[in-house]
Amino acid sequence: MQDEQFTEIGPRTLVKGDIESNEVLAVFGQVEGKILSNSSVSIEEGGFVTSVIEAETIIVAGEFQGEAIAADQFEISAGGLVGSLDQDASIQAARIIIAGDFIGEATASEIIEIASTGRVLGTLNTPRLVMEDGALVDGDVLMDGLSKPEPVAQPTRTSRTTTQTQTRRGFTRKETTTKTGSGRTAVPVPIRRPARPVYEPEPVSEVIEQQETDDTEE
Partner 1 sequence: MADASIFGPGTVVKGEINGEDRVFVRGKVVGTIDIDSAAVVEPSAFVKAKVSAKEVEISGTVEGHITGFSKVEILPGGRVVGNVKTARILISDGAVLKGLVDMDLGEG
Interface with partner 1 (CB under 8 A): 1-2, 4-26, 28-29, 33, 39, 44, 208, 211-212, 215
Q: Which is nearer to partner 1, 29 or 66 (CB)?
A: 29
Task: Using alpha carbons, list the distances in angstroms from residue 177 to 169, 170, 173, 189.
Answer: 13, 11, 7, 17
Cα separation, 34 vs 54, in Å, equals 8
Q: Which is nearer to partner 1, 39 or 107 (CB)?
A: 39
Q: Which is nearer to partner 1, 165 or 211 (CB)?
A: 211
Tell me how far, at minimum, the Cβ of 218 lies from partner 1, in Å.
10
Tell me how far, at minimum, the Cβ of 6 lies from partner 1, in Å.
5
Tell me how far, at minimum, the Cβ of 139 lies from partner 1, in Å.
35
Query: Across the strands, what pairs with 51?
Result: 33, 66
Q: Residue 40: name the closest of 61, 30, 28, 54 by CA.
A: 54
For strands 136-142 and 119-125, give the pairing: parallel
Q: Which is nearer to partner 1, 71 or 141 (CB)?
A: 71
Q: Which is nearer to partner 1, 156 or 216 (CB)?
A: 216
Q: Residue 128: name the closest of 146, 113, 106 by CA.
A: 113
In contact, 40 and 54? CB cutoff 8 Å: no
Tell me how far, at minimum, the Cβ of 156 lies from partner 1, in Å.
59
Tell me how far, at minimum, the Cβ of 23 lies from partner 1, in Å.
4
